[in-house]
Structure 1
C-alpha cells in the first residue's frame, strides 16, 4: 500500500495524505477520510523514509554504552514504549563502552536528521560538550547530570545513604565498599558519597574502599585479596553485577552467605531475586526512568518547557544476603 493508493481510496490528493502523515494541517473531514482508509487497509507509514524527506523528523536517537545490561534494556523498553505511543520511532546506537564511538554516534545521528538524542551517559567529556554544541539537536542525558543539559537521573546519593544506614543498623563494623571509577559520577561518586554520609558518625566502623570495573568477572578476581587482607563482615557493592561477582567468588571459597559474609548491591536486577541467597539491593526504576526520558525529549523537540533535572525514585529491597550481627 502506497501514499498514492491511500489518496485514491480517500478521494484526496497525494500531497494531502503526505501532509497529514507529516503532521501538517488538513481539515477535520479530510482527516477522518484518511484515517478511515488507513484503518481499513492496515497501512503502516514508513516513519524512517518520511523523516528523511521531512524538515522535522519523528526519529529519536538513543545512544547506549552497552546492550548486555539489565539497566540499559529496561530503560530502552520505557523509552520505546512512550515514543511509540506518541508516534516517534526509536533508533539505537550501541557504543560498547567506547567514548570515541559515543562521540561519533552523536554526529552520525545528527546527520540522519534525528529529532532528538537521548544519551545513557557514563561520563560527559569536553568532546561531548563540543559535539552537542555543534549539532543543534535537542539532547537529554539519562543517568548523569551536567549543568549544560537536561537530564533524568536516579537518586544515587540517597540510595547510597539508605544502603549505608541499613548496613549499620544490622551491626556491621568491618565493611568493604567495592565501587567503580569516579569518572562515572552517578555510580562511582554519588553512591559512594551517600554511603559515606551514612557511616560517617559511627566511630566503630572500619570501612575500606576499593575499585573494580562493571564486569562481574573483574569482581570475582578482586575478591580474594580484599577478603584475605581485611576480613570484612560485609561487601557493599556499587552495582548488582559487582555483587553477583562477589557472591560467586565467596561461594567458590566455600563461604556461606550471609553467615560468613554479607553482600549488598545497587540496581534491582531481576536475577538478584532469583538466585540463592537473594541479594539486598537498592532497586532503581529503570523502565520508569526511560518513560520519563521519552516524555522529556518529546517536550524538548516540541519546544515545551521541562525541569532541568528530573529525578527517578528507588526503593530499598531487604532480602537474604545480609546477616544481622547485633
Structure 2
C-alpha cells in the first residue's frame, strides 16, 4: 500500500503543500482550510514521519530566547521564569546573546528560524524596520518583552506608570532638587518611557532636575556618583536602574558622602541586592521571573493559534526603603 505523503494531502485538500506543512507544524492556518486538511488526514489515516518532520519542519520543541546581555539581572531572572514554564510544557529554551548590538539581534532572528525553533521570545531594547522585516520573513511567532510595537506581540513593563508613581512619592516627601541618572534613548522603555514618567512627576511639582546619561554598567555610574558627591547640589539622585544606583552609591562613598545622610538615592527594578544592602535601596520591583513564565505561556498560545492582545502589561510594586530621606 502506497504511503500517503504531504503532497497527497495537499492535492486532496486543494491547498498548497506549504499550507499542509504549516498546519502540521502548528503554524497559522485559516479555520476553513484547517477543517479541510483535518478531514483529508482522517480519511487517509495519514501519519507524519516524526523524524523527517523534526528535520524539515519549522516547529521543534525549542523556543529561542534573544537576550541583550547575559550579565543582566533582569534578563537572568526572566530566563529562569521562561525555562521553568517551558520545561513544564515539554519545551526547551535556546538562548542567544546579542551584546546589545542591533545587527546581532536581527541576525539571531534569522539564525533561530534556521535552527527550526517553534517560536522566539525577544528581550528587546529597540524595534527597527529591519527587525520588523526579519519577523515578517521568518514567519514564526515572536513575542517581545520589555518593549512594545504595534506589529509585534509585546509583554511590557509599566515603566511610565511605575516611574511616575515613585517620582510622585518623592515629591510628597518634599524633594525638589533632583538629579536623574538615565540611559541613552535608543532603549525606548528605560531611556525614554521610564525617564518620562519620572520627569512628569517632577515637573508637576515644580522640581529642579539635572540629568546625567550613563550605560547599564555599574562601573560607568561610579564616576557620576563621585561627581555628584563633590558638587552635592541636590537632595535626591533618581537612577533609571538598580545597577546604576549601585554605581552611584559607590561613587558617593568614594567622595566621602553618606546615604541618606548627605543625599538620597533610589533605583528601579527591584533586584535582590537592593534589600540586603545598607542602606536598603528604595526602588520599583518589576516581576521579572513571573514575567518570564507569562511570556512562555503567551508564546505557546501563539503557537497553537490562540488570539492574545498585541500589548500586555505586567505589574509593579514600590519598595520604599532606607536610601531615600523624608524631608517633610
Shorter-normalised TM range: 0.7 to 0.9
1:199 positional shift: 1.9
Q: Select the residue among 292, 310, 313 that pairs with 1:290.
A: 292
**1:250-269 pair list within 5 angstroms:** 250-269=252-271
CA contact (8 A) 2:228 2:252 kept: no
**TM-score, with normalisation over the residues of structure 1?**
0.82
**1:10-21 pair list within 5 angstroms:** none
1:227 positional shift: 4.5
The runs of 5 or more residues in structure 1 that have no matched partner are 1-21, 26-46
Q: Select the residue among 234, 237, 254 that pairs with 1:235.
A: 237
CA contact (8 A) 1:52 1:112 kept: no
Q: Relative to 1, partners in 2 of residues 1:76 and 1:173: Cα closer, same or farther, differing over 3 Å?
A: same
CA distance in 2, matches of 1:88, 1:137: 16
Q: Select the residue among 82, 98, 105 that pairs with 2:101.
A: 98
Q: Which moved more, 1:91-100 or 1:295-304?
A: 91-100
Q: Secondary structure at the match of 2:204?
A: coil
Q: Select the residue among 189, 193, 200 that pairs with 1:190.
A: 193
Q: Select the residue among 57, 61, 71 that pairs with 1:68.
A: 71
Aligned residue for 1:153? 156
Please tell me whether residue 299 in structure 1 is matched to residue 301 in structure 2.
Answer: yes
Aligned residue for 1:128? 131
CA distance in 1, matches of 2:278, 2:229: 21
Deviations 1:167-193 (A, max 9, x none): 111211110000111111111111111
Q: Relative to 1, partners in 2 of residues 1:162 and 1:50: Cα closer, same or farther, differing over 3 Å?
A: same
Q: Select the residue among 310, 313, 316 that pairs with 1:314.
A: 316
Q: Secondary structure at the match of 1:259?
A: coil
Deviations 1:65-108 (A, max 9, x none): 11111101110011111111111111101112222211111111
**1:163-242 pair list within 5 angstroms:** 163-203=166-206, 205-229=207-231, 231-242=233-244
**TM-score, with normalisation over the residues of structure 2?**
0.82
CA distance in 2, matches of 1:49, 1:319: 57
Please tell me whether residue 111 in structure 1 is matched to residue 114 in structure 2.
Answer: yes
CA distance in 2, matches of 1:163, 1:49: 55
CA distance in 2, matches of 1:48, 1:216: 48
Aligned residue for 2:45? none
The runs of 5 or more residues in structure 2 that have no matched partner are 1-24, 27-37, 39-49
CA distance in 2, matches of 1:267, 1:51: 40
Q: Secondary structure at the match of 1:176?
A: strand
Q: Relative to 1, partners in 2 of residues 1:48 and 1:293: Cα closer, same or farther, differing over 3 Å?
A: farther
Q: CA RMSD in A?
A: 2.0
Q: Relative to 1, partners in 2 of residues 1:163 and 1:299: Cα closer, same or farther, differing over 3 Å?
A: same
Q: Select the residue among 60, 79, 89 that pairs with 1:86.
A: 89
Equivalent pairs, count: 282
Aligned residue for 1:245? 247
Q: Relative to 1, partners in 2 of residues 1:113 and 1:127: Cα closer, same or farther, differing over 3 Å?
A: same
CA distance in 1, matches of 2:246, 2:103: 29
